[in-house]
Chain A
Amino acid sequence: MENLLANSPEARTSPVAPLNGAAPVLRLTNIEKVYQTKTIETVALNQVTLTINRGEFVSIMGPSGCGKSTLLSLMGLLDEPTSGTIEVDGRPVTAYTDKELANLRNLKIGFVFQSYHLINDLSVVDNVEVPLLYRKGMSGKERRQRALQALDKVGLSARTAHFPGQLSGGQRQRVAIARALAGGPEIILADEPTGNLDSVMGEEIMDLLLDLNRRDGVTVVMVTHDEQQALKTERVIRFFDGSQVS
């Protein structure tokens, strides 16, 4: 995939200079997302332009329905904008097929969701292995090893054989973070990761994300409602009615 990206025409024609000395890992330019039904047209995002630099911890804040989650889906290459460009590592992603986008997600991005989205039928360690299942050529042994390392990092080494139903909310979110980490992504996209947790567990998860960002240099983009948590991050981007207000 790296080679594929390096050889793409966009790679040659769209060199992107680092912003403020840091390399932009994600860049969104004039993004518009419109949901259209027969009778109503809803503008979820309106002319959004923003850059996420490598190693940053960015919070996205705003009231419900302001387009935060839509933005995160676009950043995570799960959805396509109605107009505008998304660049990953300086290369526009519009030219890629579904399969190539899947591969890009697998290599570069880790997701953490508010409601964890663990697969209840799989054990903790099997859940963490999910992203690695789609890595071409990775052996079962290596998958297991990397999953265990990720679980160790989130402090859940003792719970590998448990099932999601046997864990507390905080523990489930740790498993979700381990899953996001297992593939060694450059960016973690967290959609209200503490939204379903009490304040103590929420703090724990927040500390874990901060730690990953500071110690391991993982870029984190987090959608949150919690002003206190947002203030702990390097940059806060605020949204209102689909537009960036700060």
Chain B
Amino acid sequence: MLRSYLKIAWKVLMRRKFFTFISLFGVSFTLMILLVVMAIFDHAVGAAAPLKRIDRMLFVNTIRHQMTDGHGWMSQPASVHFVDDYVRKLKTPEKVGVTTVSANATAFTKSKLLPLDMAYTDGNFWQIMDYDFLGGRAFTGAEVAQAQHVCVINEATARAYFGTTDVVGRTIEIDLKRYRVAGVVRNVSAAQIYAYADVWVPYTLSPQYIKDTRLSGEFLVVLLAPSAADVPAVSAEYQQMMRQIPIPQPKEVKAIYSYADPIVPGFTRAFLGNEPSLQNDQLTKFYALVGGLALLFMLLPVLNLVNLNVTRILERSGEIGVRKAFGAAGADLVGQFLVENLVLALVGGLLGLGLAAGALAIVNEAHPIAYAHFALSWSVFGWGMVLTLVFGLMSGVYPAWKMSRLNPVAALRGAGEQK
């Protein structure tokens, strides 16, 4: 039966090429845009080097101080005191690492000024992340503790500054300070904000490496859970820890809040949260919002396709009448029409994937984000197929139902009269 449905589906597609083109254009163009968005999202938060173990990672972005007397709140990254005296003492994480958002720095080559993005990290950071080293190694915890002037640089910096990547042991001068190159890593996309920089140096060299009792500083904390299943336990222990931290300056600060979150909830909590404590990670809201937008975006071509399909049914009323006369029940016709529509959607989906690959190639060519290379991964492909299926069903169900309700006598006469 399926073979017969597929055969007729193909014939129907080929019979009206212009109709097919319009339908396919709607499906594939919409899917292309959704796939490109997904590929960018996947690139930013997916499991790829150096964030290969992303499923085990938690991030602490900020500590939020809620002020007394309605003075609002203040959110800042963590201080050395906060990391060393509280976070590093947690039992559940396998490792606790520290980094910063990369900041501007400048190196001078013989002929030109070389703007760089520099991040400060500890030794653990390199064990949590999985950088692809072209040469040398990461700096160690001991080198960090001794505040040695060592650094790791990316391939682009090595080439721009030295003209080669074989530079381990050589010295680079950045912001008038000299660092020995310990290792060279492959370029990391700026979209991977926790891992991106041109140059990494020990956080003990940071001007913000101040040992006092403030909780706020400039450091982002990366925690590695022993397994993906342990992530909630790490998050829970972190919460437990937060409840025990005494509030600094209780006259000014009413409460402090901070959360250790996997990458996506970390963002959604910060950007979508509306209560002072940010207690809800807003992940459900985020997915509902994104899903809703995607559905809304698909709605227009779906409605277009529904309209074309309904018109089309009238053209095929003779066939529907014959099938009904020879024993097709309503469900058989619904099934047949859905198969036809899914075939169309599937062809559209594959075209959409092709178009998305093309669009990503153009985006990559334009280098909108440093070192970012967007690509269609298997997960994006899988999502593309799911979207295609949703598309096929959304645009097929109503016309199929309408078709199954055609009165066979009227259908055989060629009129599309409803039962």
Interface residues of A (CB under 8 A from B): 73, 76, 78-79, 98-99, 102-103, 105-107, 110-111, 113, 117-119, 121-122, 126, 129-131, 133-135, 140, 179, 183
Contact for A103 among B322, B324, B329, CB less than 8 A:
B329
Which residues of B lie under 8 Å from residue A119 when comparing CB positions?
A: 8, 319, 322
Which residues of B lie under 8 Å from residue A183 when comparing CB positions?
A: 326-327
Which residues of B lie under 8 Å from residue A78 when comparing CB positions?
A: 324-325, 408-409, 412
| A187: min CB distance to chain B, Å | 13
Contact B15 A117 (CB under 8 A): no
**What CA separation (Å) do A85 and B4 show in the bound complex?**
37
Max chain B C-beta neighbours (<10 A), residue from A73, A102, A131 = A102
Contact A99 B325 (CB under 8 A): no
Residue of B nearest to A122 (CB): B8
Contact A99 B330 (CB under 8 A): yes
**Sample of 7 more A-B contacts, CB < 8 Å, known A113-B412, A121-B15, A122-B11:** A103-B327, A106-B326, A107-B327, A130-B322, A133-B4, A134-B326, A134-B332
CB of B290 closer than 8 Å to a CB of A: no
Which residues of A lie under 8 Å from residue B319 when comparing CB positions?
A: 119
Contact for A134 among B3, B321, B328, CB less than 8 A:
B328
CB of B7 closer than 8 Å to a CB of A: yes
Contact B4 A129 (CB under 8 A): yes
| A26: min CB distance to chain B, Å | 16
CB of B331 closer than 8 Å to a CB of A: yes
CB of B12 closer than 8 Å to a CB of A: yes
Contact A111 B12 (CB under 8 A): no
**What CA separation (Å) do A78 and B419 show in the bound complex?**
11
Q: Hey, what's the 0/1 contact readout for B1-44 against A, CB within 8 Å counting as 1?
A: 10110011001100100000000000000000000000000000
Max chain A C-beta neighbours (<10 A), residue from B319, B322, B332 = B322
**What CA separation (Å) do A107 and B327 show in the bound complex?**
8
**What CA separation (Å) do A129 and B330 show in the bound complex?**
19
Q: Hey, what's the 0/1 contact readout for B322-364 against A, CB within 8 Å counting as 1?
A: 1111111111100000000000000000000000000000000
Which residues of A lie under 8 Å from residue B15 when comparing CB positions?
A: 121
**Which B384-410 residues sit within 8 Å CB-CB of chain A?**
407-409
**What CA separation (Å) do A166 and B67 show in the bound complex?**
85
Please list 28 pairs of residues, one from A and one from B, whose beta carbons are closer than 8 Å in the complex, sorted by A's number: A76-B325, A78-B412, A79-B407, A79-B408, A99-B331, A102-B324, A102-B332, A103-B327, A103-B329, A105-B326, A107-B327, A117-B318, A118-B322, A119-B8, A119-B319, A121-B7, A121-B15, A126-B4, A126-B7, A130-B323, A130-B326, A131-B327, A133-B1, A134-B328, A134-B329, A135-B327, A140-B3, A183-B326
**What CA separation (Å) do A118 and B326 show in the bound complex?**
12
**What CA separation (Å) do A99 and B68 show in the bound complex?**
71
Which residues of A lie under 8 Å from residue B412 when comparing CB positions?
A: 78, 113, 117
Residue of B nearest to A107 (CB): B327
| A145: min CB distance to chain B, Å | 15
**What CA separation (Å) do A110 and B318 show in the bound complex?**
16
A-B interface, 6 closest residue pairs, ranked by CB to CB distance from nearest: A106-B327, A121-B11, A131-B326, A134-B327, A102-B329, A99-B329
**When A102-B328, A105-B326 are in contact, do A117 and B321 touch as well, CB less than 8 Å?**
yes
Which residues of A lie under 8 Å from residue B8 when comparing CB positions?
A: 119, 121-122
Contact for A111 among B11, B325, B329, CB less than 8 A:
B325
| B324: min CB distance to chain A, Å | 7
| B11: min CB distance to chain A, Å | 4
| A209: min CB distance to chain B, Å | 18
Residue of A nearest to B330 (CB): A98
**What CA separation (Å) do A113 and B318 show in the bound complex?**
11
Residue of A nearest to B407 (CB): A79
Residue of A nearest to B405 (CB): A98
